[in-house]
Structure 1
Amino acid sequence: MAPCSLMTASVSLLAKSFSVFSCTSTLARCTGVLPAAYFNTVKCFTTQIKPPPKRPLNGYMRYYLQQKSLVMQQNPESKSVDIVRKIAHQWRMLSPEQKQPFQEASLKANEQFKLDIERYKAQLTPAQLQQQALEKRQRMTKRKAIRRKKELTNLGKPKRPRSAFNIFMSEHFQEASGATLPAKMKSLMDDWKNLFSHQKQIYTQLAEDDKIRYKNEMKAWEDHMVEIGREDLLRDKTRAAKKKLATKSRATKKIVKKAKPAKEAAAKGKSKTTAKTKKISSVKTVPQGSTKKT
């Protein structure tokens, strides 16, 4: 029995070693086909940039979060805008001593934020710092563009003129075929291409009239901006035209100033010459009836 059991044990050990060898070979073939990201997931996640620490809330926002639930319970039917206004009014009515705890908490949080942001930047590579600076500039540019657009809308800047196709699209958008917006746009584009030239001429004329409307409204709007002291909102071509006109007027004034002394000098010289001529003529002339005594 002993030799038989020894043989079975050796056979089972050989089978296990063969199975292990086959698994490792299969894994090796898989690693040659699959990308490395499937076998190095930890490295992929660790290379991503972690978000920076969030900037702490100021004193008013801390007070707002504290009072929000209480004010909502007291005014369940009020809108969110009215709740914000009510809390803002309460904050303005607080004394400096009542505001002090919220402001001190904000100052402490700011100090901790400065330490956290320095620690965070120390962990980043130069490439990551450059990428974050680029993203920050892009966000700031986008915010400035949004603020400028809102400001121009509030100041009543005229809308830009529409093209012939835009006018056609606005008139036929509701009846266009298609369930989604891209499908409707494609249908309208096909309909526009299939129009005859005399049919397109109607919308072309409307677009030309809209250009004239925009030109007149923009001129009146820019004149009003100059009156209220907002020359920075003028278009570049308008600013360049005004600058050119001002330069031309200054040059004309200089020419006039230079020509004026020359004219005055010429007039003075002419008057002196006339006076000398009159004096000489009065000396040479002899009065009538006068005779010499002998």
Structure 2
Amino acid sequence: MMAPFGLMSVGANLLVKSLGLFSSASVVRCSCVAPVLKSFSTTTGGPPKRPMTAYMTYVKEMHPTISRQNPGVKNVDIVRKLAQQWKMLTPEQKQPFQNASLSYREQYKFALEKYKAQLTPAQTAALAVEKQQKVAKRKAIRRKKELNSLGKPKRPRGAFNIFMSEHFEEAKGSTIQSKMKSLRDDWERFSATQKQMYIQLAEDDKVRYKNEIKSWEEHMIEIGRADLVRGKERRAVKAKTTKDTKKKITVLKAKAPKKKTAVKKTVKSTKK
């Protein structure tokens, strides 16, 4: 169902007037949240663009006006302010943008079905592989962010990496690629004696990493995140836990009081 754009326009105007974004005296006239739904073009041969969320619809509608009214404000600050304002909106104020987002999603579904219908089996398979790669990439990025937030130590650097970080700024070349090539050429021309200092620094960094990762993994186990510990270490911890559990059970059994066996008394009848 298409969103009621007339109501959306009124809602957007009232919203900006009530918020007075960046200026209490400003009265912003919004054309409307989504005057005309643009068709999702597939002229480039790719799939249709994913629909905007309610929040992104809000930012797209409000950003141009706020930007014109505040030419000295950086774009990142405008977006940050819009994000803060979005959190302060009531459900009723958000409703027009949610309606617009719903309409975008409906049209996206229709365009996506139309796009998939014109694909060959080979293109469909390639699209599925591309989707899997994107999902895997997103998971890897999320995992890396999680490990960084948990303070996982940085892996040790090699001798050449240490050399490169020390001399990158002064390296010949105007691009990263040219600088890298220049540094690689310099490194290959180095004698064993010249390389020895960086080799020793790399060895020291390995020791640093070994100590730090051991402490970090012990901490991860303590807080219940053994899933982040390396496989070998995790198996060692599991084996130790199992061994300690068995030992504890053995000790408890040894300390447990022995059960008294019932003694059956046989009453012998004597002949008188």
TM-score (norm 2): 0.67
Distance 1:255 1:82, change over 3 A: same
Aligned mates of 2:116, 2:92 — CA distance in 1: 37
1:78 to 70, 73, 84: 73
Aligned mates of 1:248, 1:144 — CA distance in 2: 35
Richer in helix (by share): 1
Tell me the secondary structure at the aligned position of residue 110 of structure 2. Answer: helix
Partner of 1:137: 132
Partner of 1:218: 213
How far residue 157 of structure 1 moved from its aligned partner, in angstroms, is 1.9
Aligned residue runs from structure 1 range 39-188, under 5 A: 50-178=45-173, 180-188=175-183
Distance 1:243 1:94, change over 3 A: same
Aligned mates of 1:244, 1:203 — CA distance in 2: 39
**Contact persistence 1:62–1:102 (CA under 8 A):** yes
Aligned mates of 1:119, 1:99 — CA distance in 2: 31
Structure 2: runs of 5+ lacking an equivalent: 1-42, 261-272
How far residue 176 of structure 1 moved from its aligned partner, in angstroms, is 4.3
How far residue 212 of structure 1 moved from its aligned partner, in angstroms, is 0.8
Distance 1:97 1:133, change over 3 A: same
Distance 1:203 1:94, change over 3 A: closer
Tell me the secondary structure at the aligned position of residue 215 of structure 2. Answer: helix
How far residue 65 of structure 1 moved from its aligned partner, in angstroms, is 1.4
Q: How many residues align?
A: 217
Deviations 1:213-263 (A, max 9, x none): 1111112222333344333322222222212222232343455566x38x9
How far residue 186 of structure 1 moved from its aligned partner, in angstroms, is 4.2
Tell me the secondary structure at the aligned position of residue 224 of structure 1. Answer: helix
- Same amino acid, percent of matched pairs: 60
How far residue 181 of structure 1 moved from its aligned partner, in angstroms, is 4.3
How far residue 161 of structure 1 moved from its aligned partner, in angstroms, is 0.9
How far residue 164 of structure 1 moved from its aligned partner, in angstroms, is 2.0
Deviations 1:92-148 (A, max 9, x none): 333333322222222233223223322322222222211101001111111222222
Structure 1: runs of 5+ lacking an equivalent: 1-47, 269-294
> What is the alpha-carbon root mean square deviation over aligned residues?
3.0
TM-score (norm 1): 0.63
Higher relative contact order (CA 8 A, sep 6+): 2
**Contact persistence 1:59–1:102 (CA under 8 A):** yes
